[in-house]
Amino acid sequence: MSTIIVDNISKKFRIPHEKKNTVFQHIVGLIKRQFNYEEFWALKDVSFEVNKGEAFGIIGRNGSGKSTLLKILAKVLYPDSGSVSLDGKVASFLQLGVGFQPELTARENVYIYSSILGLGRKQVNRIYDEIFDFAELKKFENMKLKNLSSGMTVRLAFSTAFHAVPDTLLIDEVFAVGDESFRKKCRDKMDQFKAEGKTIVFVSHTLNTVKELCQRSMLLNEGRIITMGDTEKVINDYLAMLQKKTI
Amino acid sequence: MWQYRELIWNLTATDLKNRYQNTALGFFWSLLSPLLLALVLYFIFRNLWGREQDFAINLLVGMMAWRFFATGTSSSLRAIVGNSSLVTRVYIPRQILVLSNVLANIISSLLEFIVLLPIIFILLGYLPVTVFLFPLIHIIYFWFIFGAGLLLSSLYVYFRDLDQIWQVVTQVLFFCSPIIYPLTIIPANLMPYYLLNPVTQLIIMYRDVMVAGDLPSLYSIVVVIGFAIAAYLVGSLVFSKLQRRFAEEI
């Protein structure tokens, strides 16, 4: 059974030669008849399915369309053609701590961030202590966020995100934060999610993490799927591709 | 929208907390500026229109009604661009950003009107019964501002000089509304056009129910509801068309 079905999606970006950002520039452009922009296909005819309870990796070089694809799954971007269907509750971690307010306390921010991730107040009340224990920030719950260190802020964001967990997680390269012990805690949490049968789509440059986490992966290059299947094989293809490029 | 009610409320509360910076006095500071402005305007125009009935109270009511329009539209204009991470990094229905912004503004506006009530009582000696119609007018006003906010905030993503354009439009509208002068100075032949301005109609309605103790005229109600529905329909239509590319353009 698939929870994520991506059917033949393409995404085109318009890159104008000169970015028109104001009414004035648009009027000038109309008079001069400048409509020139270049089209750039960030994704072209991408189709795949992810089964329920599966961890699926997406790898590729910079600019290969990984993040665009994840943003389309997260409904932040719309594809120009094709369709995407996702079952169940989805939480996207394209960036941690979205909507954090520096002027408000850690406590208030946990409630705001949770509601952005789709949790109700009652649900947050239930996991509130767990969030602060995991982040090791119990002492700081009434401090304004701007007075916490950046590491603490990241831990708070991570912990909230991890406890607000839905059926499907979309994760974009957010692992390389915190110290070693916190990273290990996060790794364990991911394994726990997998054991609980959550679906995970994971975009990363850290091939080892992908290898550990994902059974199946996909290699993107210039917006197209190069290979898809067993992670081991996909990573080997990727390394071979990189080698060919450098020669 | 109902399933997002907690998020909407959290964003509204955040907006208010940021605005008043967690201090109890914060709100009173923001109230002080319109009151002082009204005072200055009163002394300037007292000799001109001081003999008009209830000029001082009408000036105050007009100022407060105007403020919801001016701050409501100019702050909801930035609701999308000013919250770029909530647009590009996570999915929430983007109307929420505008809605919570306008909600924060209507709460501010309600507080301002509540402060106005004792002032009216002191100046007038009594409060008209019709003051109970105030919430109804405010709800219609809210839909008008929400619609305008949807339109402005989505266009602002594409046209970044819209804030300056809107500032000029707002200024013109201020002088086209009967705030600092009485309605009686408008020439009779221009009056029908003048009365088509929804802000004018809203100000007239507030004065009817809060000062004169009259029921608003049917014409006022039709104009205001008509504009509210039109603003909301056009606003949502344009917004839902434009929002597909928000994350790319922002």
DSSP letters spanning B168-212: HHHHHHHHTSTTSS-GGGS-TTTHHHHTT-HHHHHHHHHHIIIII
Share of chain B above pLDDT 90, in %: 78
User: What secondary structure, in 3-state letters, does B122-162 show?
Assistant: HHHCCCCHHHHHHHHHHHHHHHHHHHHHHHHHHHHHHCCCH
Give yes or no for residue A58 having a pLDDT over 80.
yes
Contact B22 A103 (CB under 8 A): yes
Q: Quick check: B85 and A22 CB within 8 A?
A: no
Which carries the bigger pLDDT value, residue A224 or residue A163?
A: A224
Identify the residue whose tokens are 């012990």.
Answer: A181
pLDDT greater than 70 at residue A247:
no
Pick from A83, A112, A63: nearest CA to A6: A83
Give which of A70, A71, A85, A72 is closest to A3, Cα–Cα.
Answer: A85
Chain length of chain B: 250
Separation of alpha carbons B44 and B40, rounded Å: 6
Q: What is the mean pLDDT of residues A170-174?
A: 80
Average pLDDT, chain A: 88
Q: Cβ of B247 under 8 Å from any chain A Cβ? A: yes
**Residue B21 sits at the chain A interface (C-beta within 8 Å):** yes
Contact present, A220 and A64 (Cβ < 8 Å)? yes
pLDDT tens for B207-250 read 999 999 999 999 999 999 999 999 999 999 999 999 999 998 88
Report the gap between the CA of A130 and the closest CA in chain B (Å): 21
**Of the candidates A76, A78, A104, which has its C-beta nearest B14's C-beta?**
A104
Which residues does A77 contact at the CB level (< 8 Å), separation at least 6? A11, A68, A71, B247, B248
Alpha carbon of A159 to those of A111, A134, A138, A143: distances in Å? 12, 6, 12, 17
Q: What is the pLDDT of residue A176?
A: 59
Q: Rounded CA gap, A78 and A226, in Å? A: 23
How many beta-carbon contacts under 8 Å exist across A and B? 74
List the single residue in B11, B18, B161 with the smallest CB-CB distance to A22.
B161
Q: How are beta strands A168-172 and A199-203 bridged, if at all? A: parallel
CA distance A108 to chain B (A): 9
Across the interface, of B11, B21, B85, the residue whose CB is closest to A95 is: B85
* B2: contact with A, CB 8 A cutoff: no
- Decide if A112 and B11 are in contact by the 8 Å CB cutoff: yes
The closest of A212, A214, A99 to A160, measured between CA atoms, is A99
* Closest Cα in chain B to A95: B89
Query: Å from A209 to nearest chain B CA?
Result: 23
Phi, psi of A41, rounded to the nearest 5 degrees = -85, 105
Q: pLDDT digit string (tens) for B20-48?
A: 876 667 788 888 888 898 889 888 888 88
3-state secondary structure of A86: strand
Instruction: With beta carbons less than 8 A apart as the criterion, state whether A12 and A191 touch.
Output: no
| DSSP label at residue A147 | G
pTM (2 d.p.): 0.92
pLDDT tier at A120, thresholds 50, 70, 90? confident
Mark yes or no for CB contact A99/B162 under 8 Å: no
